Chain A
């Protein structure tokens, strides 16, 4: 090709007409070159004058063929895309609109469970001595000495200070450095056995060729088959939500509007859950939160919201965000009254409480969904419930959510991953499997203050979900611990070495 062009350029020796033709041909050549993405200029090569005519027609024929081939390619791509979309529509979207399941995801889950069981057996066979490592993931590095201060200092009340007292504090301190209850809750749970995802492969070594092959196959399936499907679904789900709620928002307030808005919400949430291959088991549906109540749940990730709203509609509470989240929030509030706060308003506790009180006073409004922990915890424990939601009054409907980490880690480590990379990780896991337990409603009892009530609800949720209960504040993820805890320890120690009577009395 280059030779032909070279010849064309060189033949400018001739007449005006020739030169014109050459310019035309050169222009065509330049266009085709750009079309083919080639940047190199045609090399000037000496050529025979007789080739001029044939070279021009060859050039035209070549470019026509290329265009035809490109059109065929586009046609094919269009056909693939349309069959793909019809499949998606038929098999996934329509059933979700009616709340029906075709059983495809159940088959997928069965195959997945069988594969993971096989993988676990192979790993167990392959690591005889090191199987102790596997157990240690759930047991811990050390066995902590939980004896209280009195026993640890080996004394009765009123004993004197001894130089050996420092042993107790240093041992406690070193134990906390090696393993503490709090910081481990802000990172993903370690798995007992590998689930064939690269990201969870911390302590597990190469076992066998077959296992590696299955892992490679898994990577291909997850990234090339599941990921595009899921991204398509998520895209469709979110657009439908925004469009649907905006349309419904145009209607005047009526029961039709409420029914339609519920339909739109439920359908789009079901589509979004399918986009994560979510398998959710709801237990005790008779206790599902009713209108005019407050629904309270433990928080692991933003997906919690999706999981709960697939089974019922809630009014959400939260800060107004920018970007995509902001668009979704603004659209949703048109169709049904959610409670979104500006960032400045969030600081004013009284304003927040007032607005929430107004919301639940209206018995026709949907139950409010609140996560009292205030931040995402890694689903192995429940941390302190902030008392604000429990001061509003009204009936509390507790809900416990427990994810199965074997199929995919749902925890959002917001300091490590931003929202987009988190969603990508979600969409390239095997599936999201979780259990949701609705619990009987609770109200504040006589003589119980908000903090005690919050702790009571927290214990109930922890017991139901099989999670550890911790008194620590989830805010420790980012903030420092309050000095009052240290002062409490100092006070206890002081009581021990001088007895109660001679302590400095603190003004109350």
Chain B
């Protein structure tokens, strides 16, 4: 029998449940997914472990998504970090909106989902999407199929539409304003079963 990583302790499971809002069975299933991805069997995932998933490797924004899992400057992500990032994509349930107004904002709130998307654009993490950063992300999405000039004009137009304080960059507030009519809850949620 191959060696198995340590099983998930009950206390850890409860903490993750409180922090992310996933149910008991969902956390268990996601844990077995985590261990199956962890080829090194050391309880953490590296960037290579993610890149081994073919459907993620062919995603144009695959590298940016993988990056979102790793905290600043680190190369390994443990199960807590994994679940915390996944929690952003949990659907918002109606009964959650009224719960716990005093507590910290749930990870899957509209604002946190938008923050996740913002971070995909904000390459240097300075809370602003500059023209350069937007160009780089656009280049990732279109590959070699669009010329530099055309891409540049797309980026300029986007910033012009979003920018309100005139600094030729998009801040988080401006980002939220542009997307206020978009159904973020539906587009940034994954249907987890039970």
Chain A residues in the interface with B (C-beta under 8 A): 130, 132-133, 136, 139-143, 145, 160-184, 187, 198-199, 202-203, 413, 416-417, 472, 476, 480-481, 485-487, 489-491, 493-495, 497-498, 502-504, 506
Contact = CB atoms under 8 A, between A and B. Distances in A.
A494 B143 contact: yes
Given A169-B141, A183-B37, 18 more contacts: A132-B25, A136-B193, A136-B194, A143-B191, A166-B61, A166-B121, A168-B187, A170-B61, A173-B61, A174-B86, A174-B89, A177-B53, A183-B53, A199-B1, A487-B144, A503-B145, A504-B144, A504-B145
24 contacts: A163-B158, A163-B178, A166-B117, A166-B120, A167-B117, A169-B61, A172-B59, A176-B55, A176-B56, A177-B50, A177-B86, A179-B33, A182-B55, A203-B28, A416-B2, A472-B54, A486-B62, A486-B143, A489-B59, A491-B145, A493-B141, A497-B142, A502-B150, A503-B146
Nearest to B51: A480
Contacts of B162: 163
A1 to B, nearest CB: 46
A131 to B, nearest CB: 11
Nearest to A164: B182
Given A141-B29, A504-B146, A182 B53 contact: yes
A291 B187 CA distance: 57
B175 interface: yes
A480 B187 CA distance: 29
A175 B3 CA distance: 27
Contacts of A187: 36
B76 interface: no
Interface string B1-27: 110000000000000000000000110
Q: Which of A169, A177, A178 is the most central at the interface, judged by chain B CB atoms within 10 Å of its CB?
A: A177
A180 B190 CA distance: 14
A425 to B, nearest CB: 8
A143 B192 CA distance: 6
B146 A494 contact: yes
A243 B121 CA distance: 68
A476 B54 contact: yes
Nearest to A503: B145
Q: Which of B33, B54, B144, B154 is the most central at the interface, judged by chain A CB atoms within 10 Å of its CB?
A: B54
Contact of A183 (B52, B121, B144, B191): B52
B56 A489 contact: no
Closest 10 CB pairs of A and B: A490-B143, A494-B145, A176-B55, A173-B65, A485-B58, A143-B191, A167-B187, A169-B61, A494-B142, A481-B54
A164 B178 CA distance: 9
Contacts of B28: 133, 203
B55 A493 contact: no
Contacts of A202: 32
